[in-house]
Structure 1
């Protein structure tokens, strides 16, 4: 079975089943295993001098192990590859988490703060309703790229080894790729490698979101907005989502009690947004997913 056919099956399997609690309450999720591997590397190697070098060695070792495991698991054939790809692609769970924020916003700001705190890393205690909605939509856009399009892309490029290499890198970046005193040096390699692996998927995600919303003419503006973002990649899907929904995203927010005066993306878009805009983002996620699935199927037919 071709990689495209396996990936199409994985995308459909994930969309249908998501993250079944009955299973992951009994068996450790592969992402949790990856997180523990990163924690082990951090606790053992992030000490003393030469932390940048140590972080590079840790990232290289994690990557080699991921590629090796992917190659070994691929021996199980297409059923194993399809199931693992479905487990490591997170479209359904992403939509569920973002939709939960919209549902909570309709109850109270307090409930919404709790819901959005599960999907963002910023301070949520003082957020008002528009800030919560923006945070949820930004997370939706960024995770469409990181959690769906990028894993699919790297599976097509490198099979299960490529997918596992991407996932361990993305996991490491989310855990140690921060400019904190502890991780500024040690997490440098993880952050830079994650930037590299997301270079194409982030831009592809922006094109898909723009295309399914008839926003082709906005691509130059999306590219300009993306350059305002603090991340070299996250700004692309975020800018595309902002234009697709007609809202302003990013802007000032607080991390660890410190206000960061980030510029708005699509600054002229609507800023007083709420649950309806978050619902619209969920629909955009499915439209982007559908476009990606269509491309995979088309590619499989053309290159069979």
Structure 2
């Protein structure tokens, strides 16, 4: 079975089943195991001198281990490939988390803040309902790339080795890729490699979201606003989503008690938003996923 055919089935399986809690209540999720590897390596090696070199060596070793593991798993046949790929995709679970924020906001602002705190790292305690909605929409757009399009992209290019290598880098970036005293040096290699691996998938995600709105009429504005983002990649799907549903995203927000004055994305869009805007974003995320599925299925038919 071709790689694109395997990916097609994995995308559908993930969309239908998501993360079965009965299974992961009994077994550690592969992403959790990757997190333990990264966390253990950080505790062991992130000290003393030459922490940048140590961090680079650690991420190189983890990538090499995932490449070998991917090759071994691929030898077990296409059924294993489908299952592993489906487990490491996150479309349904992503949408479940995003829609939980809309459900919370419909109950109360406090319930919305509690739900969005599950998916963002910024301060949520004093968020207005509009800020809660923006956070959920931004997280959904960015994680469509990190959780679906990018892992699928690297699976197409490199099979299970490529997928597992991407996931370990993305996991490491989410844990140690921060500009703090503790992680600035040790996590630099992980952060830079994650930027590189997401460069094309982020822009592909933006195209898919823009196409979910029909003809991408706002592409120049999307590109301009994306370049204002602090991340070289995250701004692309966020900007595409902002224009697709005509809301203003990004803007000022607080991290660790410090308010940071980030630029607005689509500043002319609505700033007073709530659960309905999250619903609209969720619909776009499914439409973008469907477009991607059609593209992969087309490749599977042609190859």
Per the normalisation by structure 2, the TM-score is 0.99
Partner of 1:146: 146
Post-superposition offset of 1:217: 2.2
Counting only pairs closer than 5 Å after superposition, residues 63-142 of structure 1 correspond to structure 2 as 63-142=63-142
Quote the residue 1:3 is aligned against.
Answer: 3
- The CA deviation string for residues 149-180 of structure 1, in whole angstroms up to 9 with x for no partner, is 00110000000000000000000000000001
Deviation sequence 1:171-213 (CA, Å, 0-9, x none): 0000000001000000000000000000000000000111121
Gaps in structure 1 of 5+ consecutive residues: none
Corresponding residue for residue 21 of structure 2: 21
Structure 1 distance, partners of 2:280, 2:26, is 34
| 2:167 alignment counterpart | 167
Deviation at 1:218, TM superposition (A): 1.1
CA distance in 1, matches of 2:70, 2:121: 30
Map Cα deviations across residues 38-93 of structure 1 (whole Å, 9 max, x no partner): 00110011010011101000000010001110000101111000000000000000
For the residue of structure 1 that corresponds to 2:254, the secondary structure is strand
Distance 1:14 1:135 in 2: 24
Structure 1 residue aligned with 2:262: 262
Q: Structure 2: how far apart are the matches of 1:63 and 1:161? A: 9
Matches for 1:31-50 after TM superposition, within 5 Å = 31-50=31-50
1:214 CA displacement: 1.6
Work out the CA distance in 2 between the residues paired with 1:241 and 1:293.
19
Aligned to 2:197: 197
Other-structure match for 1:186: 186
The separation in 2 between residues aligned to 1:195 and 1:232, in whole angstroms, is 7
Unaligned ranges ≥5, structure 2: none
Instruction: State the Cα distance separating 1:237 from its structure 2 match.
Output: 0.2
Q: Secondary structure at the match of 2:107?
A: coil
| RMSD, matched Cα | 0.6
Q: How far, CA to CA, are the matches of 2:288 and 2:40 in structure 1?
A: 36
Distance, in Å, in 2 between the alignment partners of 1:7 and 1:16 is 14
Contact 1:98 1:136 in 2 (8 A): yes
Instruction: Work out the CA distance in 2 between the residues paired with 1:163 and 1:154.
Output: 5
The 1:178/1:215 distance shift into structure 2, 3 A limit, reads: farther
Structure 1: 4+ residue segments shifted above 2 A: none
Alpha-carbon separation, structure 2, partners of 1:279 and 1:176: 32
Aligned residues: 303
What's the secondary structure of 1:223's corresponding residue? helix
Q: How does 1:51-70 map to 2 (within 5 A)?
A: 51-70=51-70
